[in-house]
Structure 1
Amino acid sequence: MSTQPTPGGDVTTPPTPGDLAARQAELVAALVAGGADPPGFDSAPLAAARAALLRKRAGDVARHWPLLAAGLGQRWSAAFARWAANRPTTGSLRDGWDLARELRDRGELPALGAEELAAREATARYDGRTAPRPRRLPGLGRAGGAVAVQLAGRVRLLRSARR
């Protein structure tokens, strides 16, 4: 086993590949899944990287859920960051779907987001655990007073959300 000198001149044993993989997993968990800061890392740069990754993730979700993001307006970034801070991503589409459902359940879903959620619920089945699957039969979606129906591949909003 080879050794490497440290900046102070001490000789240390290099980390084994298993140790490196474990440290990398700790770092990833700290950055994107709400894990504790791993030992040996400065908390300020970790916090900055965490915030940047949350902003990037919020932008990706907003591209998949534009009406939800528009409905929240200036509150979008903060609302998404609060929701996503301790959750690993499941993909932008599913993250937005889960956020919209949680906002709906809390009575905080804006009208535009309710209409978008109703349309998504009419076109696909999503159980919150596995990837959404397209509906083959006519589908109905409801959220925040909005009602959407999918028939023959077309989605129609039957009733708008309460404004």
Structure 2
Amino acid sequence: MSAPGSARPGDLAARQAELVAALVAGGPLPPGFDPGPVDAARRALLRKRAGDVARHWPLLAAGLGPDWPATFARWAAGRPTNGSLRDGWDLARDLRARGELPPLGAEELAVREAGARYAGSGAPRPRRLPALRRVGGAVAVQLAGRVRLLRPARR
């Protein structure tokens, strides 16, 4: 029998999962939690995640300049992370689809897509055959495992 006020292990795990969902995946705030500290923690985790993605996608982040943190936070809010590499790749593709991908980000995306296959799920896999990718005017080629940017994006 549980002591009064203590949670059973299954209840605790469920409440922890609800809290994690509220912090990183846009889930609703679980009952009994103060929204202020949870929101502050959520924003801090988004900033940390943006920094991690910027380390994997430095040209994308540099191309967005001072708009990087806000752009990333808008895109990532409500999305659980798939890891920094995949999050950056998904963001770059989303920005490209909306016509908002900066030239530096286009170059970085072209190079990544020439060197690896990524279907939006699962880990990117190195390409074995030659590949040519065009993104926003940037052209990258992969041949014999080496990737080169042949033409930069239009500025």
* TM-score bracket relative to the smaller structure: over 0.9
Where do residues 145-160 of structure 1 align in structure 2 (5 Å cutoff)? 145-160=137-152
* Aligned residue number for residue 133 of structure 1: 125
Residue number in structure 2 paired with 1:106: 98
1:27 and 2:19 are equivalent in the alignment? yes
Q: CA RMSD in A?
A: 0.9
The answer to whether the 8 A contact 2:52-2:84 is kept is: yes
SS of corresponding position for 1:35: coil
Q: 1:57 to 1:46 in 2, by over 3 A?
A: same
Q: 1:120 aligns with which of 106, 112, 123?
A: 112
- Which runs of at least 4 in structure 1 moved beyond 6 Å after TM superposition? none
> Which residue in 2 is equivalent to 1:7?
none
| Aligned match of 2:60 | 68
AA in 1 matched with 2:81: T
Structure 1: tracts of 5 or more residues without a match: 4-11
Consecutive unaligned residues of structure 2, counting only runs of 5 or more, are none
- Amino acid in the other structure paired with 2:116: A
The aligned amino acid for 1:152 is: A
Q: How far 1:13 moved relative to its partner?
A: 4.9
What CA distance in whole angstroms lies between the structure 1 residues aligned with 2:83 and 2:30? 25
CA contact (8 A) 2:133 2:141 kept: yes
Question: Structure 2 CA distance, aligned partners of 1:141 and 1:121?
Answer: 6
Q: Render the CA deviation track for 1:1-49: whole Å, top value 9, x for unaligned.
A: 142xxxxxxxx25211110000000000000000011110000000100
SS at match of 1:36: coil
Quick one: distance in 1 between partners of 2:79 and 2:27? 10
**1:92 maps to what in 2?**
84
| In 1: Cα distance, 2:38 partner to 2:5 partner | 26
Aligned length: 155
What whole-Å deviation, never above 9, does each CA across 1:76-117 have from its counterpart, x for those lacking one?
Answer: 000000000110000000000000000000000000000000
Question: C-alpha distance in 1, partners of 2:148/2:123?
Answer: 23
Q: Which of residues 31, 34, 53 in structure 1 aligns to 2:45?
A: 53
Rg bigger for which structure? Answer: 1
8 Å CA contact retained: 2:127, 2:145: no
CA–CA distance in structure 2, aligned partners of residues 74 and 85 of structure 1: 18
Quick one: distance in 1 between partners of 2:133 and 2:124? Answer: 14
